[in-house]
Amino acid sequence: MKSDAMRPLTISLTPKQPARLSRAVESGAYASNSEVVHDALRLWEQREETRELEAAMSKAVMS
């Protein structure tokens, strides 16, 4: 059974990234650092899905 509960994860950031996260939150664009990271992961997931679809379409065209 899949759980929708959030799980903590420790990550390492470059020296500039914490300040960028803080600015995004302070500007009101995001409610928290976690929200910034969640948005970045959503964008990454969308990009990966697009790549997978493009690869499948390319394979279908080649067949």
What's the pTM value of the predicted model, to 2 decimals?
A: 0.76
Confidence at 62, pLDDT banded by 50, 70, 90: confident
Q: What is the pLDDT, as a whole number, of residue 2?
A: 62
What is the arithmetic mean of pLDDT over 27-49?
Answer: 97
Residue 36 has pLDDT above 70, yes or no: yes
Map residue 10 onto helix, strand or coil. coil
Q: Where are the domains of the chain?
A: 30-62
Helix axis angle, 17-26 to 33-62, nearest 10°: 110
Question: How do residues 43-56 score in pLDDT, each as one tens digit?
Answer: 999 999 999 999 99
